[in-house]
Amino acid sequence: MHLYTINTGNFKLDGGAMFGVVPKSIWQKINPADENNMCNWAMRCLLIEDGNQLILVDNGIGSKQSDKFFGFYYLNGNDSLNQSLSHLGFHADDITDMVLSHLHFDHCGGSIQFNADHSKYETVFKNATYWSSQEHWNHALNSNPREKASFLKENILPIQESGQLKFIEDNPLINPNILMKKVYGHTESMILPHINIKGRTVVFCADLIPSVGHIPVNYVMAYDIKPLESMKDKQAFLTLAYQNEWILFFEHDLINECCTVTMNEKGNFMPKEIFILKDLF
Are the beta carbons of 42 and 117 closer than 8 angstroms? no
How far, CA to CA in Å, does 147 sit from each of 154, 193, 214? 16, 23, 20
Mean pLDDT (the chain, rounded)? 97
- Structural domains for the chain: 2-199 (3.60.15.10)
Rounded CA separation 17/11 (Å): 14
Q: Among candidates 112, 96, 98, which has minimal Cα distance to 156?
A: 112
Phi, psi of 78 (to 5 degrees): -100, 0
* Mean of pLDDT values over 228-256: 98
Which residue type, as a one-letter code, is found at position 101? S
Dump pLDDT digits (tens) for 42-62: 999 999 999 999 999 999 999
Query: Quick one: pLDDT at residue 13?
Result: 98
- Helical segments of 93-177, H only: 105-108, 134-141, 153-162
Q: What is the dihedral of CA 169, 172, 174, 176, to 10 degrees?
A: -170
Say if residue 38's pLDDT is above 90: yes
Contact 73, 11 (CB under 8 A): yes
Q: How far is CA 191 from CA 96, 185, 208, in A?
A: 18, 12, 10
Beta-bridge partner residues of 45: 6
Give residue-wise pLDDT tens across range 162-199: 999 999 998 778 999 999 999 999 999 999 999 999 99
Beta bridge partners of 41: 11
pLDDT in tens, 227-240: 999 999 999 999 99
